[in-house]
């Protein structure tokens, strides 16, 4: 994923009875250059990728901060990953933004599929509609 990019992961179904939750998120550089970047997963579309992480944003599902420096002896690779246990049934959006050093990153996102009953489907869909407003 390129620095500043926003990617859409298509998950939405016609009836919304399939939900998802994040069970694993990993990031790694695809080169050996200096990197300081933040990758974030949102439940609503983003217009720009930013490196700020605001955990009070209820549309933020996951965040990963990754850094590595070419001189690994002085500055080894480091990553911090946090994700919420939220169940969602709509498309999600992934953003990547660099800090002092920008570079492309690879990511691995693992989702667990959850069957939603009528009430859970309505709650997940309404929550998504509310967050888009």
Residue found by looking up tokens 């009875």 in the block = 17
pLDDT at 47: 95
Q: Report percent pLDDT > 90 for the chain.
A: 47
Cα–Cα distance measured from residue 80 to residue 1, given in angstroms and rounded to the nearest whole number? 18
Mean pLDDT of 44-51: 94
Whether 54 maps to a domain, the answer reads: yes
pTM of the predicted model, to two decimals?
A: 0.84
Closest CA to 37 of 7, 2, 8: 2
Average pLDDT across the chain, whole number:
85
E strand intervals along 12-131: 18-29, 35-42, 60-68, 78-83, 92-98, 105-115
**Could you tell me if 23 and 110 are in contact, meaning their C-beta atoms sit under 8 angstroms apart?**
yes
What's the structural domain count of the chain? 1
pLDDT > 90? residue 62: yes
Q: What is the residue range of 74's domain?
A: 6-132
Residue 1 maps to a domain: no
Question: What number is the average pLDDT over the span 31-37?
Answer: 83
């Amino acid at each position: 994923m390129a620095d500043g990019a926003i990617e859409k992961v298509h998950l939405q179904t016609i009836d919304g009875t399939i939900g998802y939750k994040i069970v694993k998120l990993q990031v790694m550089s695809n080169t050996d250059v200096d990197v300081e970047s933040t990758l974030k997963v949102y439940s609503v579309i983003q217009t720009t990728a930013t490196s700020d992480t605001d955990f009070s944003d209820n549309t933020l599902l996951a965040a990963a901060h990754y850094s590595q420096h070419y001189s690994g002896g002085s500055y080894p690779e480091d990553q911090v990953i946090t994700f919420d246990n939220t169940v969602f049934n709509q498309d999600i959006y992934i953003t990547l933004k660099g800090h002092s050093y920008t570079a492309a990153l690879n990511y691995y996102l693992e989702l667990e599929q959850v069957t939603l009953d009528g009430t859970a489907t309505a709650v997940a869909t309404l929550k998504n509609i509310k967050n888009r407003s």
